[in-house]
Structure 1
Amino acid sequence: MLLAEPALLPPVSAHQRVDGATRIEFSAAGGKTRLADLYQRAPCRVLFPNIDSDEPVQAVLLTTSGGLTGGDRLQTDIVANAGACATLTSQAAEKIYRALPGDDPARIDVRIAAGAGACVEYLAQETILFEGARLRRQLDADLAPGARLLATESLVLGRRAMGESLRSGFVHDAWRIRRGGRLIFADALHLDGDIAALRAAPFGFGTATACATLIYVADDAPTLLAPVRARLGEADLPPIAHATTREHLLILRLLADDAAALRRALIDAAGIVRSLATGLPQRLPKVWYC
């Protein structure tokens, strides 16, 4: 049971800023997963849509603020107790607007805890960064041995169709995944200052305007590399879509010149992985198709 209310943090801006929080816990009993506890603080909200009979319990996370800017903060805590299986997704793309001079970056923290035999899908839709945006985002997962996690995050560096491009700002996007208390994956994307130059560098993004990471963590993750690569080769994905593996991890990276192309590719890739890994349908929650 989640008892402690997430604390409000001290203000970091002279302007009004949001400090939203969600804590959601699932437990398994009688072979079914049920909501055990829920806390939400504006602008964070959770919806529980009707789902098909072959899908796990589903929660849709949303913010009512219409986007974030410098100094805004969102915290999401997800707990799946032993044997519970749940899918969490976002209602729509998150938008990060220009930060005012002197404001701290917008901060998004997601923490996932999964007990033995639990299965969590965290399928976040894309985050769109506007010119001058400042974002610090981190996903921390703490998994018991035998737990499974499928997680996605993606970034759009300006909407090309609208003539927008992220040329300056700040982005720090980090992952930390632990299994049995041991750190097994640590990764971060860091862009600061002249982002246009960093994107154009030989080690940068090339012509890509959107990127995504998909992580599957489970005992059988390495065995899925060959079939996932084969299925990716059959799918109509962007030129840069690669999969690799290491202990308990399957990692997919996607880059695309167009945000819509990346979204289609991520839907295909995540569907492929979830069907091979868990036997679930090769589709994502319905909000992805709205």
Structure 2
Amino acid sequence: MPDTTAIREFHAASQPWQASLTLGFGRDGDTTRLYDNLHAGPLRVQKALYPEGGDVCHAIIVHPPGGVVGGDQLGIEVSVGAQAHALLTTPGAAKWYKAHGKVSRQQVKLQVDAAAALEWLPQESIFFDTAQVQLEQEIRLAAGAHYLGCEILCMGRRSSGEVYASGWVKQRSSIYLDGKLIWWEQGSLLGGQLDSPLALQGHSVCATFLAAGRPVPAPVLAQIRNDIVADGDHLFGISQTRSVLVARHLGHDSETARRLMLAVWQRLRPYLLERAAITPRIWQT
């Protein structure tokens, strides 16, 4: 088998890749269909999947190179039409390689129309030491729309003994509901400074789950707090503003982060979307 890391390291010295993906989902009778599937560069969805029937269309976003190097630019735009329901995930962890003096960027724009739902559940992102990455995400919800989304960030490769000693990851995320800004967050994770209480408090993995569309009743929130407990050297918390629920985790293990975020999703999905939580098969391979 070829050494994909070596291939991507070689690519770093050449022209960066520009990749974009535009997806459009719409309601057709009792089925959600993938109507638009346009891509440029190494970023694509192969086909629509229906593991839980026609109501929900699942799609797996694939980045064939297997990793992102300094200078690569990724753009993803997704629109979900009225009353449609889409779930997007990835086949494995996203790897962000060394910067080589160049900044990598990913911009995600998600549009969810009236009475529609979008679940954005990519697997974890792993940032190699010295990676310089800019992440931007904008979510626009129409009245009556729902969004459930998760991200897991792994700083360095703990299994290989690598720490994130230099480089940076900058994030910016926003959610609009019926044209009104209801969530805005930005921050920077700096290599070598993750021990700060304003950063990750010495942890190497952080995870965030967001749910927007309608408030979760206090008893449901309390039940989640009682049911989900982070054990060992891990932290977990969940809270709710007027329009957005947020759950966060700090730890050292991506599997633990995934387990906790999955537990939040499994409890919220039946209430917010009136559907049982069926774990995407690709997460189990």
**Could you say whether these structures have the same fold, taking a TM-score greater than 0.5 normalized by the shorter chain as the test?**
yes
The match for 2:6 is none
The match for 1:134 is 132
Do the aligned partners of residues 50 and 27 (structure 1) sit closer, same or farther apart at CA in structure 2, a change above 3 Å counting? closer
Task: Indicate conservation of the 8 Å contact 2:31/2:56, yes or no.
Answer: no
The match for 1:26 is 25
Task: Provide the C-alpha distance between the structure 2 equivalents of 1:55 and 1:126, rounded to a whole number of angstroms.
Answer: 27
Task: Provide the C-alpha distance between the structure 2 equivalents of 1:110 and 1:179, rounded to a whole number of angstroms.
Answer: 17
The two structures have a TM-score, normalised by structure 2, of 0.89
State the SS of the aligned residue for 2:210: strand
Tell me the CA shift for residue 191 of structure 1. 2.3
The two structures have a TM-score, normalised by structure 1, of 0.87
Task: Indicate conservation of the 8 Å contact 1:157/1:165, yes or no.
Answer: yes
Tell me the CA shift for residue 120 of structure 1. 0.6
Task: Provide the C-alpha distance between the structure 1 equivalents of 2:52 and 2:144, rounded to a whole number of angstroms.
Answer: 26
Give the number of equivalent residue pairs.
271
Task: Provide the C-alpha distance between the structure 2 equivalents of 1:144 and 1:45, rounded to a whole number of angstroms.
Answer: 26
Letter in structure 2 aligned against 1:75: G
Gaps of 5+ in 2: 1-11
Is 2:158 aligned against 1:163? no
Task: Indicate conservation of the 8 Å contact 1:159/1:259, yes or no.
Answer: no
Letter in structure 1 aligned against 2:224: R
Task: Indicate conservation of the 8 Å contact 1:208/1:258, yes or no.
Answer: no
Task: Provide the C-alpha distance between the structure 2 equivalents of 1:169 and 1:283, rounded to a whole number of angstroms.
Answer: 37
Match of 1:249 among 224, 244, 249: 244
1:4-83 → structure 2 map (5 Å cutoff): 15-47=14-46, 48-53=48-53, 56-83=56-83
The match for 2:202 is 207
The match for 2:275 is 280
| Higher alpha-carbon deviation: 117-126 or 46-55 | 46-55
Measured on the aligned residues, the alpha-carbon RMSD in Å equals 1.9
The match for 1:146 is 144
Q: Deviations over 1:178-220 (max 9, x none)?
A: 111111100022124xx22x2112333223210111111112x
Task: Indicate conservation of the 8 Å contact 1:118/1:148, yes or no.
Answer: yes
State the SS of the aligned residue for 2:272: helix
Tell me the CA shift for residue 14 of structure 1. 7.1
Tell me the CA shift for residue 164 of structure 1. 1.4
Identity %: 26
Task: Indicate conservation of the 8 Å contact 1:59/1:89, yes or no.
Answer: yes
State the SS of the aligned residue for 2:194: helix
Task: Indicate conservation of the 8 Å contact 1:232/1:269, yes or no.
Answer: no
Task: Indicate conservation of the 8 Å contact 1:69/1:134, yes or no.
Answer: no
Task: Provide the C-alpha distance between the structure 2 equivalents of 1:117 and 1:138, rounded to a whole number of angstroms.
Answer: 25
| Higher alpha-carbon deviation: 165-174 or 227-236 | 227-236
